[in-house]
């Protein structure tokens, strides 16, 4: 997650409360999604951004995970996301995201 997005997430958490936010990621690979998820839950693991040492514990999901897919109107999901979903390794993404949520999310 780039430094600007880290800054935005921190500002939103400060303004609205971490318990009121859900981060939805769209990374193309499980490892990238996992790194971003860890950043918004446990702090920036690269020690380079505004979330270094900041454990927000935010709820975080990938847009292709069932928890999000089930919340989006089917026609919208089909139009906006389904093409991407066909080329992603969704199982790998879920495998990366699940333990991060279990270990670091405070607000599920």
Task: Give me the chain's average pLDDT, please.
Answer: 97
- How many domains, the chain? 1
pLDDT value at position 51?
Answer: 97
Helices (H) and strands (E) in the chain, counts: 6, 2
Q: What is the mean pLDDT of residues 37-62?
A: 97
The answer for residues whose C-beta is within 8 angstroms of residue 72's C-beta and 6 or more apart is 81
Q: What is the mean pLDDT of residues 65-71?
A: 96
Distance CA 9, CA 42 (A): 13
Q: Is the pLDDT of residue 39 over 90?
A: yes
Q: What is the mean pLDDT of residues 19-30?
A: 97
pLDDT value at position 108?
Answer: 82
pLDDT value at position 44?
Answer: 96
**What is the extent of the structural domain holding 9?**
3-104
Across 1-108, where does the E strand assignment appear? 22-25, 59-62
């Amino acid at each position: 997650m780039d430094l600007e997005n880290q800054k935005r997430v921190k500002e939103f958490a400060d303004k609205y409360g971490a318990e009121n936010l859900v981060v939805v990621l769209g990374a193309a690979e499980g490892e990238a999604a996992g790194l971003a998820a860890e950043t918004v839950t446990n702090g920036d693991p690269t020690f380079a951004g505004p979330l270094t040492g900041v454990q927000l514990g935010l709820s975080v999901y990938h847009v292709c995970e069932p928890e999000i897919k089930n919340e989006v109107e089917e026609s919208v999901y089909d139009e906006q996301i389904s093409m991407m979903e066909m080329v992603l390794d969704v199982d790998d993404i879920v495998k990366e995201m699940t333990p991060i949520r279990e270990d670091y999310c405070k607000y599920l």
